[in-house]
């Protein structure tokens, strides 16, 4: 059985034998389940605050939502952080951020070499069975996928570099 990718080890899931250890997590949010198999995907587990750890019980982990309790609990604090997932901008999303004629400060990912170029426009082109959108930055053209994969931009009032994409 594969565990949710945020769970480091099966031993992190607290059972009826771990109630003393679990007391340190009282008041903390986490995931509850009645079967270990539910930890294959944390989205299928009950999320809530641990309010009680009852010794000598098959269902020792109480959250505000249910009593008597759940058989298993994993604290949110010991999980791996969930990576944010991004996708490339659509042309419409890109145009909500940049207008034609606007200067865009961007760089290739992993480098410090910045470019400040004008967003000159866009065009559509047929490429076999798909239509690609090309973005004109200065004298160069880039597809939306290429901007997302290879470059990042910086807004004029910020020092943070952002991907050419949106969080899913």
Percentage of the chain with pLDDT > 90?
78
pLDDT-derived band of residue 84, with 50, 70 and 90 as boundaries? Answer: confident
For residue 84, the number of C-alpha atoms closer than 13 Å in the C-beta half-sphere is 7
- Cα separation of 27 and 133, whole Å? 50
For the sheet with 161-163, list strands across it.
140-143, 130-137, 114-127, 103-108, 151-154, 161-163
77: left (phi over 0), alpha (psi -120 to 50) or beta: alpha
Q: Are 156 and 145 in contact (CB under 8 A)?
A: no
Q: Are 75 and 28 in contact (CB under 8 A)?
A: yes
Mean pLDDT in residue range 62-75: 86
Report residue 34: phi and psi, to 5°: -105, -10
Q: What pTM was estimated for this model as a whole?
A: 0.56
Mean pLDDT in residue range 82-108: 93
pLDDT-derived band of residue 1, with 50, 70 and 90 as boundaries? Answer: confident
pLDDT score of 24 more than 90? yes
Mean pLDDT in residue range 68-87: 89
Contacts of 94 (CB under 8 A, 6+ apart): 135, 144, 164
Q: How do residues 135-151 score in pLDDT, each as one tens digit? A: 999 999 999 999 999 99
Contacts of 66 (CB under 8 A, 6+ apart): 32, 46
Q: How many CB atoms lie within 10 A of CB 80?
A: 10
pLDDT score of 67 more than 90? no
Where are the chain's structural domains?
A: 10-78, 86-167
């Amino acid at each position: 059985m594969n565990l949710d990718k945020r769970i480091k080890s099966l031993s992190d899931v607290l059972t009826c034998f771990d109630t003393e250890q679990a007391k340190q997590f009282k008041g903390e949010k986490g995931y509850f389940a009645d079967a270990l198999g539910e930890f294959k995907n944390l989205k299928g587990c009950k999320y809530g605050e641990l309010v009680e750890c009852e010794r000598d019980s098959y269902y020792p982990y109480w959250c505000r939502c249910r009593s008597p309790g759940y058989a298993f609990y994993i604290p949110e604090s010991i999980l791996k952080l969930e990576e944010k997932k991004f996708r490339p901008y659509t042309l419409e999303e890109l145009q909500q951020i940049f207008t034609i004629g606007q200067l865009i400060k961007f760089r290739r990912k992993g480098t410090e070499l910045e470019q400040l170029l004008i967003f000159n426009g866009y065009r559509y082109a047929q490429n076999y069975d798909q239509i690609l959108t090309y973005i004109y930055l200065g004298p160069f053209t880039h597809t939306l996928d290429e901007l997302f994969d290879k470059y990042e931009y910086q807004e004029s009032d910020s020092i943070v570099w952002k991907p050419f994409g949106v969080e899913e």
